[in-house]
Amino acid sequence: MGGETRHVGRVGIPAADDDADPLVLDWRAEGARAFYTATAREPQGLARRRHVRIAGDRVTGVDDEPLDDAAARAQGEDGLVGEGALLAALSERRTGRMGTAVATLQAEQDAIVRAPADRTLVVQGGPGTGKTVVALHRVAYLLFTHPHLAERGVLLLGPSPRFLEYVAQVLSALGETAVVSATCDTLVPGVAPERGEARDVAEIKGRALWQDAVTRYADSLVPDARALTVRLDGEPLTLRAARVAQVLRAARAGGRSVLAARRRAVDLVLDALVDEAAARHAEMLDRVEEGFEDVLGTVDARLAAADDRAPTTGARGGDVDGELTDDDLDRMRDDLAHDPAVAAVLDAWWPVVDARTALADLLRDAALLARHAPGLSPAEARRVVAEPAALAPSDVPLLDALADALGTPDAPAEQGEFLADRAASRRDWVYGHVVVDEAQELSPMQWHMVLRRCPTRSVTAVGDVDQTEAPHRHTDWADAVGPVLGERWHRADLTICYRTPREVMALVGPVLRAAGSRNEPPRAARDAGVEPRDVVVPGSAPDLAGRLGTAVAAEVARLAARYEGGTVGVVAPARRLAALRAVAGDVPVLGATEAKGLEWDAVVVVDPDGIAAEPRGWNGLYVAMTRCTQELVRVVVDAAPAAG
């Protein structure tokens, strides 16, 4: 750029002179963008790009990348930016924590990071395409570029606590703290699943039809219009049903929640009771004999004659002439508002309903389900009713929807010094932006949870529909988000796999086809130089579990030695996890769902056929096979009978 040299870093450093260029340009600044998007074919005014790698305060490597005609002729079809630095980063040992990628973001990743924030962006990316890195850097970019988003904070929804722990240091390393991390199970403060559930029930409860069902059910908790009778000064005071109906119509106007409508209705009922009392008082005045005030005047005159200080009755307002003043009416309303007997009448008419109790009533009652969720078949309703009362994961979005429709009894005070603490303590907090990782796993009801927390739909959802393991019946993004978002979303694609080497990606085609994929797998950016290996354990062995454990332990030990300073992981069918954990030492042994979003230098996939046989198992096997950055070993159970 005209002979200039610019330094781009994770955090900007201004120059001592306010008019001078910064010493270090923040990577999110517009002036830094060419560093991520320039190629030899389109240099965008850059002559050279340099990556300086450091460890602590020590320089560990320098990669120079000329952006000239010779480089353009040599550039591969992937058009990788800063290829030397990128491949060096990809070859580093994994530590069990995700790091930043400020120095090595690629052009297609940068385009997503800097995409407009006023829409829902769905990012499809196969394994190793950097979906999570892109999502986290997008959070940092948006908070830097759009300060108003920081006033409400950003919600990061991940698939599991293990995943959130894995990525925790990225945003703090990028200098961002206005972020709340949660899973769908932990998104409602004070609520957590108390049991597991069958996949078919989770699918039923996750359907979009429940949003309308819950709303109808909440509306049904509004009482009917009927006459209300209270006692005032010992005398009965009645509001006719027609007047109560007017109160209910006014209370529900404007789309108030049930509880907000109740508060409004109580106010209107008290006003109406005062009006009724005033009308009754006026009616009584018409019956008072003529000359009542003359009698009072005569009494006052006699008192005055007996005492030159002229005492009087002290009567005023309605006590003197029978007319009720505004003060009289206010006192009457206050008496009614603080009368326990009146409160009891109103509570009996319109009780305050706890959301969890109300949800339990709905889910345990087949007649209520038939009335409010007619989209369920009788058999599906019976499956729901037969479930235990304890909360399951799919109940959390239903509880959130019902709590929203019913309203918050008393909004709690915002607790905590930091915005993230205050936001996390409020179920009804509205965020500036929401990022959803592994978004393909969300049910329609979980998507409704997301949109309640960001009505502007400023959402970034990243995932791989081919890695879906949830029971929800979708195989593409239109099926996944359409029931809630309709057509109000945009898609972007990540097409290059940076994590998983070519040797492993060459094996995934048949797995994807078996999973019913409609997408092309991402192109691997590099070779690892290590071919995947299969270790075969005879399925006819009398002690198959023991033989599997021995084989896995041997492979874990070999790989740990080979990738010293790095990480090894084991992925296996759910039914084999307990036995394998007993022999794997400190190496994590996870099911395919638990392994989603994680990566290790080397991975041992145990019993691939067993993984494929699980629900959505081909998708799970695709996940399992693509967790490694260097080497894949498959421990295969040979089902063929032993010879002889």
CB 594 within 8 A of CB 618: no
- Tokens read off for 582: 């007993």
* Beta strands 433-437; 459-463: pairing state: parallel
126 marked among binding-site residues: yes
How large is the C-alpha radius of gyration of the chain? 34
Cα(97)–Cα(93) distance, integer angstroms: 11
39 marked among binding-site residues: no
Cα(359)–Cα(191) distance, integer angstroms: 13
311 marked among binding-site residues: no
Closest CA to 606 of 631, 629, 585, 632: 632
205 marked among binding-site residues: no
Phi, psi (deg, nearest 5) at residue 267: -60, -45
Residue 597 DSSP code:
T
**Reduced to 3 states, what is the DSSP secondary structure of residue 242?**
helix
DSSP string for residues in 412-474: PPPPSSSHHHHHHT-TT---SEEEEESGGG--HHHHHHHHHT-TT--EEEEE-GGG--SSS--
CB 528 within 8 A of CB 632: no
Residue type, 389: A
131 marked among binding-site residues: yes
Residue 461 makes CB contacts below 8 A (sequence gap 6+) with 120, 121, 122, 123, 435, 436, 439, 481
Closest CA to 483 of 442, 524, 425, 435: 442
130 marked among binding-site residues: yes
- Tokens read off for 253: 């106007």
- Tokens read off for 451: 């949109």
* Beta strands 589-590; 568-571: pairing state: parallel
Around Cβ 403, how many Cβ atoms within 10 Å? 25
Question: What are the binding residues for ATP?
Answer: 125-132
Question: What are the binding residues?
Answer: 125-132
